[in-house]
Amino acid sequence: MNDQIYAFACCVRPSTESILLCGIPFEIDPSNSQDDQLRGGQYCLDQLGGEWIPIAYARELSEEGKLAFMKTMRETLFQKD
């Protein structure tokens, strides 16, 4: 198995309002996004199980970028009134 991470999927577990990043060991190509997102989603489901839903993808994130991406996703998904 390839150990290099090429992309990240933001996965959400709605029952607990949890978010995590799943590293994906292959490219997610924006020009072929539907097929790559399906392949990335299947990889995440295989790794994490069906309670985690991949909802967004990002490439080449720094540590600060990972935190900002997750913060934005959390704020967007779990807005409290």
In a domain, 31, yes or no: yes
Could you list the residue range(s) of the whole structural domain that residue 72 is in?
7-77
In a domain, 27, yes or no: yes
10-residue mean pLDDT profile of the chain (81 residues): values are: 78 91 83 81 92 88 90 84 55
Number of folded domains in the chain?
1
In a domain, 66, yes or no: yes
Q: Which two three-digit tokens encode residue 72?
A: 């934005």
Q: How far apart are CA 78 and CA 37, in angstroms?
A: 23
* pTM for this predicted structure: 0.79
In a domain, 60, yes or no: yes
The burial of 20, by beta-carbon neighbours within 10 Å (0-12 exposed, 13-18 middle, 19 or more buried), is given as middle
Strands (E), the chain: 7-13, 18-24, 53-59
Per-residue model confidence (pLDDT) at position 79: 80
In a domain, 19, yes or no: yes
φ and ψ at 47, to 5 degrees? -80, -40
